[in-house]
Structure 1
Amino acid sequence: MIVVTGATGNVGRPLVRALAAAGEQVTAVSRRASATELPAGVRAVDADLTDPAGLKAAYDGAQALFLLLSGDLLAAGADPAAILDVARDAGVRRVVFLSSQGVATRRHPPQLEQAVRASGLE
């Protein structure tokens, strides 16, 4: 199963659709995932990346995580290391981090990619 954060936004929504269409099991995570129309079979989990403990349910049974984090979320209190720690502890083995998200806004602090490298995840 693949967990997609930011699943109802401009990047996450088409990714969730593509993964579901390819037959993947998907968990869509966003602050309002359950209020969003998702493809059939996609599990919705309402969670906030500023509360890593609240992500435990989303990671249940997951092997991979698509992590969309921005400098804005970091400024709001999101801790990328804690998010990845919870994922690893839940059995997630691989992370794909969208690092280009903050390039246009110039809000791409290096600690985002450093946390991914330090996580021990593929």
Structure 2
Amino acid sequence: MRIALGISALVLAATGVACSDQTENNESGTAGRADELGECADVWIDGETLDAGYQGCSVDGQPELPSVVTCESGDQFTTYDDAFYAVLGGEIVEAGVGSAEYEAAVEECNAA
């Protein structure tokens, strides 16, 4: 049940819908700073490391603000464009939201 709830929270977070206080949208201080954010195509590269202080990225000058879910371990998990996921400060993985690889990462995030 906990895993199903965690998966639901991540799916909602990936779509920008907050469902609990575990999901945070880093909107404050980022809106209007798209020029200070890296281009999403340059940030979200499979196998690269997502910055631990990730505040979002930009597409065509528009900010893409992250929804972050706090895992049971305290790690913070985020997704981008329904194609990538990463723990802040961890490796970026290109695996579509809903894929077996993504579901395994969600399960690990929710493991006690």
With normalisation by structure 2, the TM-score equals: 0.31
Higher strand share: 2
